[in-house]
Structure 1
Amino acid sequence: MIKIQQLWEKAKKRLSGTRLADCYAELKVQDKMHYDLKRLKHKDPEKGELKDLGVQEQLQYIMGKYNLGEHPDVKKLNLATKSDQFLNKDLKKLWKNAQYSGFTEEELKILEEEFHHHQKRLDEYDALRDELVRLEKTALNALENEDDLDTARQLYKQKNKETKIKHKQINEGFQSLEKRIYQDESHPHFTDFRVYQLYAMAKKTNMSPNELESFEEELKQFQRRIDKHETLKDMVRQSQSHFDKTVKDGKYPPKHTELEDKANVYDYKVKKYHDELHQRVDKLLFQHTEL
């Protein structure tokens, strides 16, 4: 339906993370209800009119729940999932996990502030390490002057102590963030939107608890394939960055091209597996949703 598609396009601009995936699942169900309503109106106009009110009320409920009206309430808009706002690789990955851990928007906003605070401490730590390197060079240059050398050593000792304290604070802070994000182990932690979207759709089907649990295991396997593909893509980027300095005429060595081929094969496998899972859960969703 055009209306549903328009709402989905709007949702992609206003929502993110689990909210966007859950909204997709509800709109899929709503789309099927509109389709069935159209058939019912053609077959039995009177009965169709009676059902129409309920379908429209459900649509209004979804629009209100996900803030999809014409004029969005800025206070209710979901938090952006720009993991690139964090420079540290581990922090970036942890923030991505936070997006799919069932936190409310308000909780995510508070968490984001804590993540920024942690990134600031990481920046301070990097600055201290740079200062240590500079002091080490100063000490080497002051070998002939005993007073200068003693001063440089004292400064180095002080900065080294500060660096160790900062490193300990960073580790403790990161562990604290991890503990908060992974506190609910009963919730499946999917870090890729495609995986959580499939999970959100599956919850709308008539799967039994055992079937849903089995499907979750398949989704975890799918998540592992995605993680492997992401690792391969990182390796390709690093390899290309390394060989770009020496490669001529765009001809990379076999070691690099083989890595590229492997990443491409995994890309195909991930897309194929996603299509298979999506078709299966989409079929179950279609069969289960009846007016």
Structure 2
Amino acid sequence: MKMLCWNYSLLIFCISCFLLLVLCQKEESIDKRKEDIRAARDKSTHQFRSVRVNQVWEKAQRIGKSPKELERLKVDLKKYDEKAYQLKKLERDGGDATGEQSEKMHKQLTEIMKKHNIVPKDKPNKQTPTKDKPFDDKRLNELWKKTIDAQHFDDSEVKLMKQQLKIHQEKINQYQELVDDLYGENSHPAAVQAKRNNAVDKDEFQAREMDLKLQHKRLNKDFQALNVKTIPEEERGGFNEPRIINFWKDAQKTNFTEEELISLKEELRHFEGKLMKYDTMQEEAMHAERTYKKKKMNGEKVDMKKHTAMREKVKDIGNTVKKFFTSMKEKISSRKQQHNEL
């Protein structure tokens, strides 16, 4: 009996040792894969000035392009990056008002990606363009309808607006390519979370997600700027922020007195300044988050306290912004209800 127990204990011990060995080898395999990924990544991750060009470069590395293929791609991207930098300077100085050069640049980057087999060469449209719905994106088609229905646009302004909407559609397409590249075509929350959990290099995955968040924020900001253009000047009340413009338009449909409207307008003007400052801070914080994750990913030293402090500051201001929106919405809604009752 004792011998049987001893043999049983020995068997359990052997099985435990075997399982431990398998787990250790699996851990070593995962670590080695992480090391291989990081070794394959260029030491200077940010090869180019443009964030979008860097994303294309990093994707080419991830999908396993050979050194010769990467070298040929780098030549094309460097030329493009310089042109993109010059265009950015031109736009800052008020140039390319029609957006024609910007559209050409977006198309050129897509062509470079197709040439080097980084995106499918023939990606079908989501829908067949029509005169009333010339874009793939639903919101852009709605904005186009507002444009052609607007009384304050002449023919040249309608043409310019269509050009700018086409550029925005190209930006959306490039953004969607990045989303598909990171998450696959199934972007259901459960599938996305599974991708996060199963990522070999979680730091890299998080850094790429931050790139997407930044790009999405810029897309939304650009869309809102286009949306404001469809609103006649006299209805904007001198405001530029879409949410503030909507507050002002709603306020004028209530029973506010002239004096109260003047006071409200000043309050909205003051808050618009704060809101724009908050949006800038939020974007800066996202850039900082991205830099933090990139440094962490590359094994560089990071200041956790500084990073956390900035994030908390932006969060506090965000809470103040939310409170103002809630308060202003209730204030205008209550007066609107009184007005309707009368």
State the TM-score bracket (shorter-chain normalisation).
0.3 to 0.5
So what's the TM-score if we normalise by structure 2?
Answer: 0.34
Higher relative contact order (CA 8 A, sep 6+): 1
So what's the TM-score if we normalise by structure 1?
Answer: 0.39
